[in-house]
Structure 1
Amino acid sequence: MRLPWFTWAMTYTAASVLAMGLSGCAIPRLVDTEVSTFKAPSTQPQLVNATLYWLEQLPSQNADADRRVAAMAALSLSGVGLQASPSRQSAHLLVTLTTSRTQQNHAPFEDPPRTGFWFGTAGSGISFQFFEPASNWYQRQLHWVFRSPTGVVLQDIKASHDGRWSDDDTVWQAMLNASLSDFPNAPSERRTIKTDIPR
């Protein structure tokens, strides 16, 4: 028996939405990190030859979240050949991470993002549109400061990323890794480092 076109359209729409949802789960997310590196040329050899570091901790950095940051920083630093040391005769590092959250509200008269389908014949049809609900938007910034054991600033790195992903640790790890790309000889000009992370 042949199904009415309306029933067929509804079935096709449901299948299409389900397919989009399933395919979205397999697509990696992109974290595009804006990175700027600032160097002190006369002291650069001290950083190039460094293999150990001592991570500074401010009096306010004593919560569980700060300990997670220290662990993530250690993982990224090990990727560029730097290992933690209890000795203050090593290079001194300070890393700070900040997140601000805003909400993006969408209303029909503001032309919000939407997807839709249309089915029908030349004379009649039916349209389906799906408006995206309000969503959180996260602005993340991180700052590395590398100092000599005597306190001279050797290099500092600033990085930022704006996006809707709420899983802080995963995004921060991608940003920390991106900010140390080509360390310690990264170019001075501002650049964008793109990283895929799993959903």
Structure 2
Amino acid sequence: MRSVLRRAGAAVLAGFALALTGCATGYLLDNNVQSFSHLTAVPSPATYRFERLPSQSADPVQSQLEALADPALHKAGFRRDDSQPRYSVQVTARVERVPSPYSDPWDRFGFGWGFSGRRWGIGGGLGRLESPWYRREVGLVVRELAGNKVVYETRAANDGPWLDNASVLPAMFDAALQGFPNAPQGLRRVDIHVGAPAAAPR
């Protein structure tokens, strides 16, 4: 029993140290991406405006979400022009807090090492730190205004412990638009580096 607890404790501490290191140097955000395209080349002019559903128009967060998506659209070759747009872009996002997959199995008995969906630490009576886990998904739908036709649809999903939506969501929009307009078919993994790059080895 003691050896099991020691191994579990060592694993948790190593993971905790790795998480702290990741905060200092950035981290690799893995995304599951799926895209659907009716385009063969980057359209010209690729001007666009944002399109909102009635429910999005009443949501004060929507403008912030569009601002987070705008840099990724620019990298893909789009240029925002609300006066003479050729396309409209609808932006969606969902962020949900879920139980951590690294929940501590000993926690149900009130003792042990490790992370749980609610706290971290040793023993049943000691204070423990939060270890939240999030499931996120972003989506973009590009519609050609002249024919009211959807020409590109893409979405990216990720789950992990990262707290900062202002850093994570733009990276997910980058992942969703990777390969535009000729993205590979089917579900694929796209990794995006978030934060400061790691220092080069000496």
What TM-score do you get using the length of structure 1 for normalisation? 0.70
Deviations 1:98-119 (A, max 9, x none): 111123342426798759xxxx
1:5-20 map, 5 Å: 20=17
The aligned residue for residue 34 of structure 1 is 32
Separation in structure 1 between the aligned mates of residue 52 and residue 76 of structure 2, nearest angstrom: 21
SS in 2 for 1:193: strand
Q: 1:185 to 1:24 in 2, by over 3 A?
A: closer
Q: How many residue pairs end up in the alignment?
A: 167
Pick aligned residue for 2:88 from 84, 87, 92? 92
Higher alpha-carbon Rg: 1
Q: 1:83 to 1:134 in 2, by over 3 A?
A: same
Q: Tell whether the 8 Å contact from 1:103 to 1:134 is kept in structure 2 after alignment.
A: no
Unaligned runs of 5+ in 2: 1-12, 116-120, 197-202
The aligned residue for residue 4 of structure 2 is none
The aligned residue for residue 44 of structure 2 is 49
Separation in structure 1 between the aligned mates of residue 170 and residue 112 of structure 2, nearest angstrom: 31
Q: Tell whether the 8 Å contact from 2:41 to 2:181 is kept in structure 1 after alignment.
A: no
Separation in structure 2 between the aligned mates of residue 38 and residue 24 of structure 1, nearest angstrom: 33
Pick aligned residue for 1:195 from 179, 187, 192? 192
Pick aligned residue for 2:54 from 52, 59, 64? 59
What TM-score do you get using the length of structure 2 for normalisation? 0.69
Pick aligned residue for 2:150 from 148, 153, 156? 153
SS in 2 for 1:158: strand
Report deviation, 1:160.
Answer: 0.3
Q: Tell whether the 8 Å contact from 2:40 to 2:182 is kept in structure 1 after alignment.
A: no
2:133 corresponds to which letter in structure 1?
W
SS in 2 for 1:67: helix
Report deviation, 1:26.
Answer: 2.9
Separation in structure 2 between the aligned mates of residue 91 and residue 112 of structure 1, nearest angstrom: 56
1:33 corresponds to which letter in structure 2?
N
The aligned residue for residue 180 of structure 1 is 177
SS in 2 for 1:185: coil
Q: Tell whether the 8 Å contact from 2:34 to 2:155 is kept in structure 1 after alignment.
A: yes
Q: Tell whether the 8 Å contact from 1:51 to 1:81 is kept in structure 2 after alignment.
A: yes
Pick aligned residue for 1:139 from 130, 135, 139? 135
Deviations 1:90-137 (A, max 9, x none): 11111100111123342426798759xxxxxxxxxxxxx968855211
Q: Tell whether the 8 Å contact from 2:41 to 2:182 is kept in structure 1 after alignment.
A: no
* Structure with greater strand percent: 1
Q: Tell whether the 8 Å contact from 2:104 to 2:114 is kept in structure 1 after alignment.
A: no
Q: 1:166 to 1:26 in 2, by over 3 A?
A: closer
Quote the RMSD (CA, aligned, Å). Answer: 3.2
Q: 1:83 to 1:187 in 2, by over 3 A?
A: same
